[in-house]
Structure 1
């Protein structure tokens, strides 16, 4: 397997665990505090990781266009997590997380439109299954 596949699998494992851990904490705290603490910890770990990998040395030379996209991604992520934590506070994390995975359809569309990534038959089949699964959970 290629290295990126291992990273994706590790992302899946840690991402799934993070959601359950957050839901456990929200049994005793509100979603706003939960998200704030989670984001603070995340920020510290990401900064230390970037620093250790030498990824911060070019920060002053970042192109404006790249900065624009990173800021847009940051705003999008913040809004995403606010809504996600609100949903997770009052519903089963397994259902919220599954419905949330419908966001992959937005990723497919935007990656096609903005990055010129191909939409393959395999991708279409997977997207269809995600849509069907999401509809099953919503109804």
Structure 2
């Protein structure tokens, strides 16, 4: 667990990429909502094992009401995202759906500025613009 945040972020990106590929194949002959439920059960089991293995358990009573509220909201947003993502994968090409889903990167930057008071430099804003441009180029289907 002593890896630096950039390594964890790169691992996250790699696993997210595999998620898109595996999900596209997996959702082929399954209702996208059921596929999302199956994925969620697997994540619950894997998350429980990870917490047990790393001895990361914390008594729920020690978690503040504010943390509970935002973790619950985050869970609801995650669920909504997954249901939408699987529906999109069922209907579209993974190579076009996944980049649009990754617009979340640009939206996080914008939301962090608006809601968390974070500051972005001109170069950071240029990066946000390039992400949006890249998404548009990847999602566009030439005839």
Distance in 1, matches of 2:56 and 2:24, equals 32
Instruction: Give the equivalent residue in structure 2 for 1:6.
Output: 7
Q: How does 1:15-94 map to 2 (within 5 A)?
A: 15-94=16-95
TM-score in terms of structure 1 length: 0.90
Distance in 2, matches of 1:46 and 1:30, equals 24
Distance in 2, matches of 1:118 and 1:52, equals 37
Residues 77-112 of structure 1 show CA distances to partners (whole Å, capped at 9, x for unaligned) of 111111111011010011010011112222112222
TM-score in terms of structure 2 length: 0.87
Q: Which runs of 5+ in 1 are unaligned?
A: none
Distance in 1, matches of 2:42 and 2:62, equals 27
- Aligned Cα root-mean-square deviation (Å): 1.7
Instruction: Give the equivalent residue in structure 1 for 2:117.
Output: 116
1:118–1:60 CA distance, 2 compared to 1 (3 A):
same
Distance in 2, matches of 1:51 and 1:121, equals 43
Instruction: Give the equivalent residue in structure 1 for 2:98.
Output: 97
